[in-house]
């Protein structure tokens, strides 16, 4: 699979951005005698414009969506990513080093405008140029850092969008068999019909509800005036919000679905951990950054039995960290950052606790760690 290397440049004026209040570049560990030796971080892109419109949408024209148009990262989204990059610099300073090095860090994005732009805005804060790295006197606060992508049709790891026939069959069967899916579609059939009449699109599935909710929520967040039916529909903790968040759960709600949707990314993360532990990672990088989507995070959390119904906020991040203890033992911790907190508490990994050896982690999640993609996805 060929990677396409994107080295994209853009100008960020740091005077317009919030400055991180973090005290220093330190490595946070549950035990000060233990050393963080590797990290893989999956993060959601920043604030964006609406991605889909409904027929009766008064804001479906591009004119209502500056900053690049439909689906694009907004100025606020860029600022959110810059602040997240400041946090990465604070938390992982020793792993990153003072200067960018391809031998220390690798950045991968899904092949989507908003995630690529998010990665670039993030990296502007992670690697501001030192005096000797300044390459243009007019742009002293920014330098180009490579971001790698794979076309959607080929990406079975990060975007999990490569065609997988076995997954499609299993997902369709899950939707038919799931008591909760059937209950929602039956119990709220009248609401589905009401929303269909109001928005002009056929709202017949849980995923249809999610997309309508997502569009209305973004329009409200961007100070658009909504019709009364729309305001009622997206009230906090209401039925539409519940159905929309439940939609995230469906994609990885069985071991097979989790194996074929998040398993390849999880396997890559764990392989990097094992290689780092055994000194076989080449080059011996310290950190892997994945610029992705809310569903990337929820799919992973749900696959690991760590998901509670919610939509990950913009610029939220899921951290897998590998530590070496003072007695040369290694263990994994997982952290989930949903807001701007500096100090994170480790998640409680089922059947393992806050610290988990790599062997134990493999044993717990063996049924969702796949092998070869073509073999796994074949229907034969």
Please state which CATH number belongs to domain 4-162+253-373.
3.40.50.1240
**pLDDT score, position 170:** 98
**pLDDT score, position 31:** 54
Cβ burial of 306 (10 Å; 0-12, 13-18, 19+) is: middle
Angle, alpha carbons 357-361-362 (nearest 5°): 120
CB atoms within 10 A of CB 350: 12
Where, residue-wise, is CATH 3.40.50.1240 in the chain?
Answer: 4-162+253-373
Is the predicted pLDDT of residue 14 greater than 60, yes or no? no
Is the predicted pLDDT of residue 174 greater than 60, yes or no? yes
Please report how many Cα atoms fall inside a 13 Å half-sphere around the Cα of residue 192, on the Cβ side: 17
**3-state secondary structure at position 35:** strand
Nearest to residue 39, comparing CAs of 364, 365, 312, 346?
Answer: 346
Nearest to residue 254, comparing CAs of 358, 180, 186, 319?
Answer: 180
**pLDDT score, position 326:** 87
What's the average model confidence in pLDDT over 156-182?
98
Q: Give the tens place of pLDDT for each residue, 31-65.
A: 568 999 999 999 999 999 999 999 999 999 999 99
What's the average model confidence in pLDDT over 222-232?
98
Q: How far apart are CA 239 and CA 25, in angstroms?
A: 43
Q: Give the tens place of pLDDT for each residue, 99-122.
A: 999 999 999 999 999 999 999 999
Q: How far apart are CA 241 and CA 47, in angstroms?
A: 19
Q: Give the tens place of pLDDT for each residue, 132-152.
A: 999 999 999 999 999 999 999
- Which residues are 105's β-sheet partners? 287
Q: How far apart are CA 364 and CA 349, in angstroms?
A: 10
Q: How far apart are CA 170 and CA 184, in angstroms?
A: 20
Report the phi/psi class of residue 142: left, alpha or beta, with left for phi > 0 and alpha for psi in -120 to 50: beta
Residues with catalytic function: 45, 294
């Amino acid at each position: 699979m060929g990677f396409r290397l994107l080295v994209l440049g853009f100008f960020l004026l740091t005077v317009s951005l919030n400055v991180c209040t973090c005290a220093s570049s330190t490595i946070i560990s549950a035990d000060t005698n233990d050393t963080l030796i590797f990290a893989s971080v999956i993060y959601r892109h920043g604030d964006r414009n609406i991605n889909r419109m409904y027929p009766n949408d008064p804001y479906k024209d591009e004119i209502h969506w500056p900053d690049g148009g439909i689906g694009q990262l907004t100025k606020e989204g860029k600022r959110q990513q810059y602040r997240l990059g400041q946090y990465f610099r604070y938390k992982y300073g020793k792993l990153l080093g003072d200067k960018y090095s391809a031998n220390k860090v690798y950045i991968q994005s899904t092949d989507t405008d908003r995630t690529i732009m998010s990665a670039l805005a993030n990296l502007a804060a992670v690697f501001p140029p030192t005096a000797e790295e300044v390459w243009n006197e007019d742009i002293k606060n920014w330098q180009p850092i490579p971001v790698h992508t794979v076309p959607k049709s080929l990406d079975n790891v990060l975007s999990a969008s490569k065609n997988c026939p076995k997954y499609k069959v299993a997902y369709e069967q899950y939707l038919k068999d799931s008591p909760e899916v059937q209950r929602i579609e039956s119990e709220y059939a009248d609401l589905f019909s009401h929303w269909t009449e109001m928005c002009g699109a056929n709202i017949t599935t849980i995923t249809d509800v999610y997309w309508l909710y997502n569009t209305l929520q973004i329009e409200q967040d961007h100070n658009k005036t909504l019709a009364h039916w729309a305001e009622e529909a997206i009230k906090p903790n209401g039925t539409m919000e519940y159905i929309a968040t439940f939609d995230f759960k469906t994609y990885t709600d069985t071991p097979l679905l989790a194996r074929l949707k998040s398993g390849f990314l999880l396997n890559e993360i764990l392989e990097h951990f094992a290689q780092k532990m055994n000194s076989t990672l080449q080059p011996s990088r310290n950190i892997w950054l994945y610029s992705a989507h809310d569903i990337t995070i929820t799919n992973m959390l749900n696959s690991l039995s760590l998901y509670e119904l919610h939509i990950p906020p913009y610029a939220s991040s899921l951290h897998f960290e590998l530590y070496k203890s003072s007695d040369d033992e290694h263990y994994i911790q997982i952290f989930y950052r949903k807001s701007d907190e500096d100090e994170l508490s480790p998640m409680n990994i089922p059947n393992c606790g806050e610290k988990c050896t790599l062997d134990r982690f493999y044993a717990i999640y063996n049924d969702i760690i796949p092998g070869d993609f073509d073999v796994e996805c074949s229907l034969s």
